[in-house]
Chains A and B, each alone.
Chain A
Amino acid sequence: MSLRNPQFRSAARRVRGLGAAHTGTGHFIGSRVTSVALLFLSIAFVAVVVGLLGRNHAAVVQILGSPLVAVLMLLFVGTTAYHMWIGMQEIIIDYVHDDGPKFAALVANSFFCVVIGVACVFAILKLSFGV
């Protein structure tokens, strides 16, 4: 009754003993593992972009569509999309405390990362397989 009604409990009482949400560690590890991968993939990405400088469209398509470059770029954009999703989520949770704006920001973050990831992957595949 009154004891079971969460309305009559303090905020601390409601959460005490429940422990952590048990999913934070996964994000921590995911963030670190992708960061190690991105150290190498970012070097490849910068090398590719430097290689594209000043070239015409046909040459750019040929370079981005070649298997080695395409695979490195796919790995880069995929890993980046996941890494930036976790990172921005952490920033939002740190600074946005009201439920409504926080929920909206977290959803917007997910949408943005998925759109960026899918757009990049689709473009690279199209450059590789043509049409």
Chain B
Amino acid sequence: MADSSTPRMKPRPLSPHLQIYRMTLTMAMSIVHRITGAGLYFGMALVAWMLIAAASGPNAYATFETFISSIIGRVILFGYTWALIHHGLGGVRHLVWDMGRGFEPTEREMLTLATLIGSIGLTIVVWVVGYFALGGLR
């Protein structure tokens, strides 16, 4: 009989994982969807900071504004804008797939490429509009 201290487990077959496959665009965007989701998760702390600061008073809001208009703040805000738009468009793609559509090789490549190009394009549009809302570049 087998030793009672060692569980009698047959090694189960494992499916090949990421390192086995050639990286494809859909794979990369699947990972990016998750990374942007995690980024937005922690980015919500920034949204909470903005709202709490505004509710706390002029001094607290000034502190937030100093941070967000600094170079680091702007880079984070730019990244947050892109992450939000990319995660949103990626979500639309996943909703299309949830409906059982868009699985043909060309369709899924086009959908995935569209989310990437769309997210970069829309991020630039939002920032251009944002700078115009501020009264142009300064």
Contacts and interface: CB of A to CB of B under 8 A. Distances in A.
Interface residues on A, range: 35 or more
Contacts of B45: 116
B39 to A, nearest CB: 11
Interface of B: 7-9, 34, 37-38, 40-41, 44-45, 47-48, 51-52, 54-55, 57-58, 61-62, 81, 84, 88, 91-92, 94-95, 98, 126, 129-130, 133-135
Contact of B37 (A36, A87, A123): A87
Contacts of A68: none
Given A57-B62, A84-B40, A120-B47, A64 B92 contact: no
A88 B95 CA distance: 19
A35 B91 contact: yes
A11 B8 CA distance: 10
Nearest to A124: B51
A53 B130 contact: yes
Chain A interface mostly: helix
17 contacts: A11-B9, A42-B88, A46-B84, A54-B134, A57-B54, A61-B54, A77-B51, A88-B37, A88-B41, A116-B44, A119-B51, A119-B52, A120-B44, A120-B47, A120-B51, A122-B52, A123-B48
A123 B55 contact: yes
Interface in A75-125: 77, 80-81, 84, 87-88, 91, 112, 116, 119-120, 122-124
Given A10-B9, A39-B91, A123 B133 contact: no
Nearest to A58: B58
The B interface is mostly helix, strand or loop, or mixed, namely helix
A119 B48 CA distance: 6
A57 B54 CA distance: 7
Contact of B134 (A42, A53, A58, A126): A53
B44 A60 contact: no
Interface in A18-38: 32, 35-36, 38
B81 A60 contact: no
A29 to B, nearest CB: 10
A32 B95 contact: yes
In this complex, the member of A32, A60, A91, A127 whose beta carbon has the largest number of chain B beta carbons within 10 angstroms is: A60
